[in-house]
Amino acid sequence: MSNESPDIKLPDPAEFAETMARIAERSQNLITEFASKQDPSKGFGMADPLNVTDAFVALTKQMMADPARFAEAQAGLWNDYMKLWQSTTAKMFGGVGVSGAGDDSGNGDSAGAPVAVPDKGDRRFKDDAWRDNALFDYLKQSYLLTARWMQNTVADVEGLDEKTARKVDFYTQQFVDAMSPTNFAATNPEVLRETMASGGENLVRGLENLLGDLERGKGKLAISMTDESAFEVGVNVATAPGKVVYQNELMQLLQFDPSTETVHKRPLLIVPPWINKFYILDLREKNSFIRWAVAQGFTVFVVSWVNPGPELADKTFEDYMLEGPMAALDAIEQATGEPEANVIGYCIGGTLMAATLATMAAKDDNRVRSATFFTTMVDFTEPGDLGVFIDEEQIQALEERMDQEGGVLDGSAMATTFNMMRSNDLIWSFVVNNYLMGKDPFPFDLLYWNSDSTRMPKAMHSFYLRHMYERNELVQPGVLAFDGVPIDLGQIKVPVFILSTKDDHIAPWKSTYAATGLYGGPVKFCLSGSGHIAGVVNPPQDPPKYGYWTNAKKPPKDPETWLSTAKQHTGSWWPEWSKWLSRHGGGKVPARMPGDGGLPAIEDAPGSYVKVRARD
């Protein structure tokens, strides 16, 4: 096998030098023009937000306390590199190994066979040159060896407390992802091919894209994930027909037009997260959960949260409860004449809904007849990767940042946090596409929604992080009090449907499962395939995309025990939920049109609140 892929050719040195000189000149002009537009007193907002120095100091101390273990790890890495060199040499002289082969450990067992192979699903090395070209194959394997050595070495260090160990592991992964050879022009075969073919124009376009993103982020790098000009809220996303029938400072309440002649008597209230916008449940007609629920005969109401500015900095978690679901239930009764309702809470909206139901139980308020929770944590004992970002020191630093920003947290901060959890897919793939390949991002409605972030009021956000994530007080009976009453999740007696997703990196399913032992009424747990978004927005379709698991038995304490005896189904979990909710629908009544009841229509759905963007 040749040690050069046929489509990776070295350029003429003189011609290449001339091309790069032209690129350098044009780049300098672009940078000069960009810099002239900036306010030097504000800098570029590039201060390091990670705050992990103490964790790595602790790691270093523990590693030095056991030098023999560290030396053993280094010897193992050296041995793997010797195997890689032998494998590469054999390949260059006609060995038969292919980098997609090898056992799960990545150890080859024949001349030229790979020593390290990418994990299944790793799309960074999909280009044929990473397999066929000996140089790029060597770069890939040496990176994988070093990356895995780093991760295994820090994971094996003993004596660190659990929080420090998790922080070290997470940020080591961030460093490993950042240092991939795919992220650098000189070591990415796709970028090299494009550079040769375009005479370096891709790098100039990439620089223009980079500077454009810096300018759009007002000095902070706001990586473009999609062509935002291709979408408009209310035009080609968030298009389910309906009306705004109520509003206050924190939310608008949307009621959607029926599509059936009769509907279930009890309306359905959806409380989405305020970290994002509600239209994740109404992106397009074919995958709109809202449209589908309407078609099943439910009168659907949705809370559309405001995108708060500094004027709402003092709004508390309790305010979100009283002016959110509590106000919505009052308005729904006015709009329909029906005092009882079923509710859905999604993510942090579900956390709020659980606190609301516990408050209502303490007040003997029985208006809610069933509750559904989508990917919701109420027990924060094991918060997953998000726990890396939350301790008292980081919360105080965040509060200082919110003070500097007028009492709100900029939406981009939360978006960056979530993106870091899948950095190869949600950060580095766009760095390569936008800045190295010089391409424009592809129009994608889900990524448009993902980029449409919202701000957080300081009072609410600080309370949520400190009392839920850090202190886990929501599951401690009587510790938290809302609307003048102490709460206990065990007093929630209504039937509950919990939907979690198997690959959720924001609300890990085993953490959400803990709620099955907290509520006082009957609980049905359902586990969907995929992650925090795709596992929820998984409509019935042909062919089916993701399956789900259910278990007829009462949920045991251990989630793995539940899964081991669960039944796996193909297709969407939506019909399973609809069948469950229909039993709590209260019978059928004629369909209700928004604005025809006790509340007049204010404006057409999706309303005006959802159209306010964080950088407006």
Q: Report, as residue numbers or ranges, the catalytic residues.
A: 347
What is the Cα–Cα distance from 438 to 433, expressed in whole angstroms? 6
Which one-letter amino acid corresponds to residue 481?
A: A
Structure tokens at 64: 């030095």
Kindly tell me the sign of the dihedral angle through the C-alpha atoms of 154, 156, 157, 161: positive
Structure tokens at 559: 């989630």
| Contacts (Cβ under 8 Å, ≥6 apart) of 159 | 62, 65
Q: Do the beta carbons of residue 489 and residue 354 sit within 8 Å?
A: yes
What is the Cα–Cα distance from 457 to 586, expressed in whole angstroms? 38
Number of C-beta neighbours around residue 184 at 10 A: 14
Kindly tell me the sign of the dihedral angle through the C-alpha atoms of 134, 136, 137, 141: positive
SS3 50: coil
Q: Do the beta carbons of residue 204 and residue 194 sit within 8 Å?
A: no
What is the Cα–Cα distance from 368 to 343, expressed in whole angstroms? 7
User: Residue ranges of the alpha helices (H) in 260-347?
Assistant: 289-295, 317-321, 327-336
What is the Cα–Cα distance from 24 to 200, expressed in whole angstroms? 10
Which one-letter amino acid corresponds to residue 369?
A: R
Residue 495 DSSP one-character state: -
What is the Cα–Cα distance from 290 to 295, expressed in whole angstroms? 9
What is the Cα–Cα distance from 197 to 233, expressed in whole angstroms? 39
Which one-letter amino acid corresponds to residue 150?
A: M
Q: Is 64 exposed, middle or buried (0-12, 13-18, 19+ CB in 10 A)?
A: exposed
Residue 237 DSSP one-character state: B
Indicate the angle between helix axes 189-198 and 201-216, nearest 10 degrees: 110
Structure tokens at 151: 């991760």
Structure tokens at 116: 């390290």
Q: Do the beta carbons of residue 372 and residue 497 sit within 8 Å?
A: yes
Q: Which helix (H) or strand (E) holds 231?
A: none
Residue 501 DSSP one-character state: E
By residue count, the chain amounts to 616
For 574-606, b/e burial (b = at least 16 CB within 10 A) is bebbbebbeebbbeebebbebeebebebbeebb
What is the Cα–Cα distance from 213 to 193, expressed in whole angstroms? 25
Our measurement of the distance from residue 99's CA atom to the centroid of its chain's CA atoms, rounded to an integer in Å, reads 31
Q: Is 375 exposed, middle or buried (0-12, 13-18, 19+ CB in 10 A)?
A: buried
Residue 1 exposure: Cα atoms within 13 Å on the Cβ side: 22
Cα–Cα distance list, 107 to 75, 78, 116, 149, 302 (Å) = 16, 14, 6, 14, 53
Q: Which residues pair with 497 in a beta bridge?
A: 372, 524
